[in-house]
Amino acid sequence: MSAPPPHSTHEIVIAATLWLMHRYQQTGCKKLARMVEQHLRWMQVGASSPVLSNACQRLSFEWRAVSCAAQPVLPQPTLH
């Protein structure tokens, strides 16, 4: 059994990160947020190709938007 081509590994990591981001949008789960951040760190450290480096950069921007949008909005205190 031969190793998969490098681009397929990149595609798997990118797809996994996108899936985790999507699930985080649906659930707001802090564990998923940590997993997304771990994937992004792994991608950044392992960015041995321009494809993975560019994907990491794009996903980091998307993650900031997703994670900020998913923050719960606290209700304003009621003034009597």
Tell me the pLDDT tens digit for each residue of 21-79: 888 888 888 898 888 888 888 888 877 778 788 888 888 888 888 888 765 544 555 56
In the prediction, which pLDDT does 47 show? 74
Nearest-angstrom CA–CA distance, 18 and 72: 21
In the prediction, which pLDDT does 68 show? 81
Q: Could you tell me which of 45, 42, 57 has the C-alpha nearest to residue 12?
A: 42
pTM of the model: 0.69
